[in-house]
Structure 1
Amino acid sequence: MSTQAASMPPFHLAFPVHSLEAAREFYGTLLGCPEGRSSPDWVDFNFYGHQIVAHLSPEEAGHRNTSAVDGDNVPVRHFGAVLSMEQWQTAADRLRGAGIKFIIEPHIRFKGEVGEQATMFFLDPSGNALEFKAFANMASLFAK
């Protein structure tokens, strides 16, 4: 993790799930996010230094719409993490090994352009879309 990233305040994100047990298995066991506090209706996780909270709300879970980005149909509602290239590859290998079906397979987007990045999209057990990405040059994260 870069010094700049370490000094940034963590974000907080709450999202709906259909099952807390499935969320614990996916985020805790598969993705390796340590569990924090919980109740019968929610559980929080340390998602790469950020706090995400899975709330039991089956009727709201799942992504519904996509938007065209660089030839892919990207889920409009999604969240994820910007990782180092090494972390990204490790995550891709772990997800493949677990048989996770990608909505957008791991690949390089914007090849040769400002903002070139490795990206992959997949769903959690409740149908929430996640994107993991990595930049060879982290300074291009917000470049135009």
Structure 2
Amino acid sequence: MDLDLLFRALSDATRRRLIDELAERDGQTLFELHVRLITYYGASLSRQALSKHLKVLEEAGLLRTEWQWRSKHHFLDRTPLRRAWTLWLAGHAGERTPESRPSAAEPSAAQPAEPQPDAAPAAAPPPSPPQRRTPA
């Protein structure tokens, strides 16, 4: 799961409203979602723009679609939200879980990287300038 893709999808207010609508009433068509956004939020966007928002949500894994006869229905997939909570958000909310802790096998950004054996040794820092002594 790509957290960047997920958070990019969630960064837009229209897409968050779409998620709210699908959480309330799953399996809506593009037309139904369009009417609800206009009715409840006063949104003024075209069906083409709405379709692009739905595509972003689908690419982030937040939506799955299903064709029923000649209508495309959209269903909310909460799995990416749960995984984001478990892997990243819970730790920052002070609710560490075993899954949100970095494992010993995964290097953490907080830990300095170990030097590579084929890497050139680090240069020594330059000597400090001599201290001036003032007469006493």
Instruction: Determine if the TM-score, normalized by the shorter chain, exceeds 0.5.
Output: no
More helix by share: 2
What TM-score does the superposition give when structure 2 sets the normalisation length?
Answer: 0.24
Query: Computing the radius of gyration over CA atoms, which structure comes out larger, 1 or 2?
Result: 2
More strand by share: 1
